[in-house]
């Protein structure tokens, strides 16, 4: 059985720097009939379990540790008994939401996890958050970008722990190294492609 991608949208809030916003977050699940990985754990464990179904969860992969991406990660971990994986540079953000427990596995540049016969590879793309990572799945022709790259451009960098120059460099050096037809599955909103965002930013391939 080939690996596939399943998706849902979960609604809740995002809080940082003393302000709270209503947000809709994408939940992405990659795997086959037997096993899967979950990318981001936003607002509601049941929203995630509805996408997972009966499958074994191998890992809970976090694109970064803003609360709208990691809030229910520990609760999901208890339900499905799978390790939470996060880039360690996002520890200060994680600790804003989870003061009494940590994640399980550090996601470093080049970290690979196999699931359902396909492989997700972590690209460290700091800028939106210091520990922001994207997950490239070469044989599915896609990349999960979290809040680093959206349809319409780079993620926000106006708040604490963000860096606008760094996110632009991460996108240019890491994401625009991927082929134009690579589908971009984002943390919020609609899909795009590397080619569409490259031309929107006026950068040559």
Binding stretches for Zn ion (CB under 5 A):
66, 147
Q: Which is nearer to Zn ion, 116 or 187 (CB)?
A: 187
Smallest gap from residue 126 Cβ to Zn ion (A): 12
CA distance 26 to 29: 10
Smallest gap from residue 117 Cβ to Zn ion (A): 30
Relative to beta strand 105-106, strand 112-115 is: unpaired
Q: Which is nearer to Zn ion, 66 or 124 (CB)?
A: 66
Q: Which is nearer to Zn ion, 25 or 118 (CB)?
A: 25
Smallest gap from residue 4 Cβ to Zn ion (A): 26
Q: Which is nearer to Zn ion, 55 or 66 (CB)?
A: 66
Q: Which residue has the tokens 């600790």?
A: 95
CA distance 67 to 53: 24
Strand partners, 24: 11
Smallest gap from residue 62 Cβ to Zn ion (A): 11
Indicate the burial class of 37 (C-beta count within 10 angstroms; 0-12, 13-18, 19 or more): buried
Smallest gap from residue 97 Cβ to Zn ion (A): 12
Q: Which is nearer to Zn ion, 31 or 155 (CB)?
A: 155
Strands (E), 117-165: 118-124, 133-137, 142-146, 149-150, 153-154
Query: Cα-Cα-Cα-Cα dihedral of 191, 196, 202, 205, to 10°?
Result: 120
Angle (deg, nearest 10), helices 73-80 and 45-52: 40
CA distance 199 to 180: 10
Smallest gap from residue 35 Cβ to Zn ion (A): 27
Q: Which is nearer to Zn ion, 35 or 147 (CB)?
A: 147
């Amino acid at each position: 059985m080939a690996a596939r991608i399943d998706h849902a949208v979960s609604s809740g809030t995002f809080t940082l720097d003393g302000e709270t916003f209503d947000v809709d977050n994408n939940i992405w699940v990659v795997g086959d009939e037997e096993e899967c990985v979950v990318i981001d754990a936003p607002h509601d464990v049941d929203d995630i379990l509805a996408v997972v179904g009966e499958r074994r969860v191998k890992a809970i992969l976090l694109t970064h540790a803003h609360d709208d991406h990691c809030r229910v990660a520990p609760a999901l971990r208890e339900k499905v008994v799978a390790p939470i994986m996060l880039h360690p540079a996002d520890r200060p953000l994680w600790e804003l939401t989870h003061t009494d427990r940590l994640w399980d596995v550090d996601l470093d540049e080049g970290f690979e996890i196999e699931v359902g016969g396909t492989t997700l590879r972590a690209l460290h793309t700091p800028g939106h958050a210091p520990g922001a990572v994207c997950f490239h799945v070469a044989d599915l022709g896609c990349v999960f970008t979290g809040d680093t790259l959206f349809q319409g451009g780079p993620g926000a960098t106006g708040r604490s722990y963000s860096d606008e120059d760094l996110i632009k460099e991460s996108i240019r050096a890491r994401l625009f190294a991927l082929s134009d037809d690579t589908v971009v599955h984002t943390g919020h909103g609609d899909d795009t492609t590397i080619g569409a965002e490259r031309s929107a930013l006026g950068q040559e391939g």
